[in-house]
Amino acid sequence: RKEVEQDPGPFNVPEGATVAFNCTYSNSASQSFFWYRQDCRKEPKLLMSVYSSGNEDGRFTAQLNRASQYISLLIRDSKLSDSATYLCVVEQGGYSTLTFGKGTMLLVSP
Amino acid sequence: DADVTQTPRNRITKTGKRIMLECSQTKGHDRMYWYRQDPGLGLRLIYYSFDVKDINKGEISDGYSVSRQAQAKFSLSLESAIPNQTALYFCATSETGGPEAFFGQGTRLTVV
């Protein structure tokens, strides 16, 4: 079983739509969780960390369910500039290395 | 200037050749990483180093070697390049105990 699994998409949505991405992870000892964003042919960049209590940053909301080993990212009021690949990332407990999901591509159209 | 710099940015090399990818950082981070990215496979960890004297194999280290020349420099070598090493390679850094990884702009390597 892949350690971090994501729906590959692509998700095609119109501007203004709300879109949700899901991610599951297999290592119950994982300590930290993140969403990274990667534009085409560019380097990944941290979008936001994910906390058990849930956290919000503007139009972006991240949720973590440790019992289900499930992470989500919600984007409200999608913008054209949100078009990118969103990577679910898990820090492996004990090794402190990051394991990346394959990413979910989002395409926002006018 | 970028905080994490990779050279070269693009490289085409022949099968069997030795090639080195270099990474330098100005962030002062102890931890450095090499990843490769392939379409449909995502980012996979090749090697990582938590300080100058610490080198660890990642998920896919076969066919690769690394050298941590200084805190700021971490190079990746392909001793004898093969076509299935064609990929986008990223170097990254992070602080000890810090969650965020900072990536270089990537090196697109093609082995023909």
pLDDT (tens place) for every residue of chain B, 112 residues total: 679 999 999 999 999 999 999 999 999 999 999 999 998 888 999 999 999 999 999 999 999 999 999 999 999 999 999 999 999 999 999 987 677 899 999 999 999 9
Q: Is the dihedral of CA B105, B36, B31, A1 positive or negative?
A: positive
Tell me the shortest Cα–Cα distance from A98 to chain B, in angstroms. 8
Q: Which residue has the tokens 């093609």?
A: B110
Pairing state of beta strands A104-109 and A11-14? Answer: parallel
Query: Cα–Cα distance between B1 and B24 in angstroms, integer?
Result: 12
Six-digit token string for A52:
């058990």
Cα(B112)–Cα(B108) distance, integer angstroms: 13
Q: Which residues contact A89 (CB under 8 A, 6 or more apart)?
A: A4, A33, A34, A35, A36, A98, A99, A100, A101
Taking only the tens place, the pLDDT of each residue in A38-54 is 999 899 999 999 988 88
pLDDT at A95: 58
Q: Do A98 and B45 touch (CB under 8 A)?
A: yes
Q: How many CB atoms lie within 10 A of CB B28?
A: 10
Quick one: pLDDT band at residue A2, thresholds 50, 70, 90? low
Whether residues B99 and A99 touch (CB distance < 8 A) is answered with: no
Q: What is the pLDDT of residues A58-82, one digit of tens each?
A: 999 999 999 999 999 999 999 999 9
pLDDT of residue A97: 84
Chain B: nearest CA to A110, how far in angstroms?
27
Q: Residue B1: its pLDDT value, please?
A: 61
